[in-house]
Chains A and B, each alone.
Chain A
Amino acid sequence: MRRTSPALAAYSWLVYGFLYLPILVLIVFSFNNSRFGATWQGFTLKWYGVLFGRSDVREALLGTLLVAIPSTLVSTVLGTLLGFGLWRYSFRWRTPLTFLMVIPIVIPDVVMGVGLLMLYALVRTVVPFSNGLLTVLLAHVTFQVSYVALTVRARLAGYDRSLEEAARDLGASDLQAFLRVTLPLALPGVLTGALLAFTLSLDDFVVTYFTSGSGFRTLPVLIYTNVKRGITPDINALSALLVGVTALVLVLASVISGRSSAFRRSARRGREDS
């Protein structure tokens, strides 16, 4: 451990202030008794009431979950198999495959969004369908798979492949060896990957925006269309609520897991935008 100067400490806390200022302002203003809210006009809970009365908000919340839950399940299965395979086998195409897996993580969301939009348009010339829940779901699985695979792969990296062989030497079948030796070892990685995939799905705006068509909306898409029209206090309330839920889930998860490395890894991405 190294000594740090007071100047560095002060500077660092200023940076933390910068990180939290917008979120605090957002929460404070969600309780502000003013329609156009630039100044403080007294405390109120009415915007939360307005929010709960909006049927489009409820629909968008449902839409968000209808995408997030199935896409997380599919991507967790696909990603776990992929991460396991990358760890278990040595083959010529390993580096190109890793490269392919990293692409969905690094390409700008707008490129992924319009690319999928065009893919769907092309398929539509053969099979008629309209954009909506299904097209958004497929799109989300696409950016989730890589994260799950890399998380599982990272979790298994510390273990020796011969563990499975040992199980087989002791009479386990291949399936037994996988289910009783490898999968339990990989499980923390699988769960972290699934949690990450779920949050990425909840958070995504850009890819959903381009692939959802006109009839289907998730919460981020709803927030975007509202924000484009101007500041509305009930959207402050919605944002503050989402901040609260996020913080609660994160603190619980970190208390349960006792490790922050998973969060560290997962925060390194900016799916929402970009």
Chain B
Amino acid sequence: MLSFRRFLASLGPGTVWLVIFVVGPALILLAYSFLTRTDVGQLGAPVTLENWQRIFGYDALFQEWVPDNLRVLLRSVLVAAVSTFVCVLLGYPLAFYIAAQPPRRKNVLLLLLILPFWVNFLIRVYAWIIILRPFGLVPSTLAVFLGMTYAYLPFFVLPVYSSVEKVDWRLVEAAEDLGATPVRAFWAAIFPQTLPGLIAGVILTFIPALGTFIVSDLLGGSKTALIGNLVQDQFGQAGDWPYGAALSFLLLGAVLLGLWLYARLAGQKGLEELI
């Protein structure tokens, strides 16, 4: 009995906090997404599916199909995917380089990798405005891609690095002894070993890139609006909370689904390693 009280005392407060401030808002988002727009903050308007229909481009009666918002959604996925891909191109070789250094140098290189990312995110994005604006590149799609890649590169490199560090190089030697070309040896002996880090890195890059609104807000224009900008707009100028709630819940659902799939694959340990 006493031990149960201690159990509650240690896990209770934090759990209650998370239920109120994380589960609570999630449920509110879901509930609001089925309501109609009224005065901001008012509940009790008629229940409707209109907000969800609107996301997919339909009006209330399914008569017209105007896929503007669907286009924003697709663009968000595309921009996040391309930025993640560029992060792979830049970061994957870098992880190998760092892992191959002697211990002291390795730590310095890791610190150097992380330092820029302790600088405030807004400031890092703002710096790109200073660089790109004289070339007439703000706002532009290129600027958005650059900003995104820059913003999320370390999230990608760090998990990949921890995988690369654990690579068993004897497998490569074995592959080479068996006559494999270097390329073949890489794909057969190294790449599979780095896959867990690669997957974690892709998740950690793709998810924030999917939800961002600052990068596209500051470096892009209305043509590069992403789902994050759409959400921001519903809670700002457009003042349409129920629609904003539907969009947010869609984003939340997508992320949770991805996380759940990852948890199924990687288990409790994998979840804890994600940060």
The residues of B that contact A271 with a CB separation of less than 8 Å are 121
A260 in complex: contacting residue of B11, B111, B169, B207, CB < 8 Å: B111
List of B residues within 8 angstroms of A2 by Cβ: 99-100, 169
Interfacial chain B residues near A187, Cβ < 8 Å: none
By a CB distance below 8 angstroms, the chain B residues around A265 are 275
Does chain A have a CB within 8 A of B13?
yes
A56 to chain B, nearest CB (A): 16
A8 to B107, CA, bound (A): 18
* CB-CB under 8 A for A19 and B15, given A103-B22, A116-B21, A274-B208: no
Selected from A22, A26, A146, the residue in CB contact (under 8 A) with B150 is: A22
Question: CA A111 – CA B29 in complex, angstroms?
Answer: 9
Expressed in whole angstroms, the minimum distance between the Cβ of A96 and any Cβ of chain B is 10
What residues of B have a CB within 8 angstroms of the CB of A224 in the complex?
122, 214
User: Does the CB pair B28–A23 fall under 8 Å?
Assistant: no
State whether B133 touches A223 (Cβ < 8 A). no
The reply to whether B150 and A227 form a contact with Cβ atoms under 8 Å apart is: no
* Contact B130–A273 (Cβ < 8 Å): no
> Which residues of chain B in 24-63 are interfacial with respect to chain A, using CB atoms and an 8 Å cutoff?
24-26, 28-29, 32, 40-41, 43
User: What separation, in Å, do the CA atoms of A149 and B11 have in the docked complex?
Assistant: 10
B185 contacts A by Cβ under 8 Å: no
Is A104 in contact with chain B by the CB < 8 A criterion?
yes
Q: How far is the CA of A8 from the CA of B6 in the complex (A)?
A: 54
Report B-chain residues with C-beta under 8 Å of the C-beta of A11: 93-94, 97
Nearest Cβ in chain B — how far from A142, in angstroms? 4
Known A15-B94, A38-B133; judge A118-B122 contact (CB<8 A).
Answer: no
Closest B residue to A79 by beta carbon equals B14
Q: Which of B102, B107, B210 contacts A108 (CB 8 A)?
A: B210
| A239: nearest chain-B partner, CB-CB | B123
The answer, yes or no, to whether B90 is at the interface (CB within 8 Å) is yes
Residue on B nearest A32 in the bound complex, by CB: B130
Check A107–B255 contact: CB distance below 8 A: yes
Does the CB pair B155–A108 fall under 8 Å? no
Quick one: given A15-B94, A142-B21, A149-B14, are A26 and B130 in contact (CB under 8 Å)? yes
* Contact yes or no, B235 A114, CB < 8 A: yes
**Are A267 and B158 in contact, with the CB atoms below 8 A?**
yes
Verify if B256 is at the interface (C-beta below 8 Å from A): yes
A197 to B122: give the CA distance in the assembly, Å. 18
Of the candidates B94, B120, B130, B235, the one having the most CB atoms from chain A within 10 angstroms of its own CB is B120
Partner of A118, one of B23, B29, B94, B159: B29
Q: How far is the CB of A53 from chain B (nearest CB, A)?
A: 21
Contact assessment for B271 and A97 in the assembled complex, using a CB-CB cutoff below 8 Å: no
B9 to chain A, nearest CB (A): 7
A98 touches B207 (CB 8 A): no
**Does any Cβ of B come within 8 Å of A190's Cβ?**
no
Q: Hey, what's the 0/1 contact readout for A49-84 against B, CB within 8 Å counting as 1? A: 000000000000000000000000000001101101
Task: Judge if A102 is at the interface, Cβ distance under 8 Å.
Answer: yes
- CB-nearest residue of chain A to B228: A110
Given A2-B169, A272-B122, A274-B211, do A150 and B134 touch, yes or no (CB 8 Å)? Answer: no
Q: Does the CB pair B100–A250 fall under 8 Å? A: no
Which residues from chain A contact B235 at a C-beta distance below 8 Å? 114, 117, 210
Complex CA–CA separation, A236 to B131 (angstroms): 12
- The minimal Cβ–Cβ distance linking A57 to chain B, given in whole angstroms, is 14
Chain A, residue nearest B99 (CB): A2
A254-B111 in contact (CB<8A):
yes
User: Quick check: B11 and A85 within 8 Å, CB to CB?
Assistant: yes
The contact sample of 14 A-B pairs, CB cut-off 8 A, is A21-B131, A95-B271, A99-B259, A99-B263, A100-B15, A106-B207, A106-B259, A115-B252, A202-B120, A224-B122, A231-B133, A243-B119, A273-B125, A274-B209
- A residues with a Cβ closer than 8 A to B are 1-4, 8-9, 11-12, 15-16, 18-23, 25-26, 29, 37-39, 78-79, 81-82, 84-86, 88-89, 91, 94-95, 97-112, 114-119, 121-122, 124-125, 138-139, 141-142, 145-147, 149-150, 153-154, 174, 199, 202-203, 205-206, 210, 219-220, 223-224, 227-228, 231, 235-236, 239, 242-243, 246-247, 250, 254, 260, 263-265, 267-274
A-B pairs with lowest CB-CB distance, top 9: A108-B211, A272-B121, A115-B25, A22-B127, A82-B14, A85-B10, A274-B208, A85-B11, A12-B97
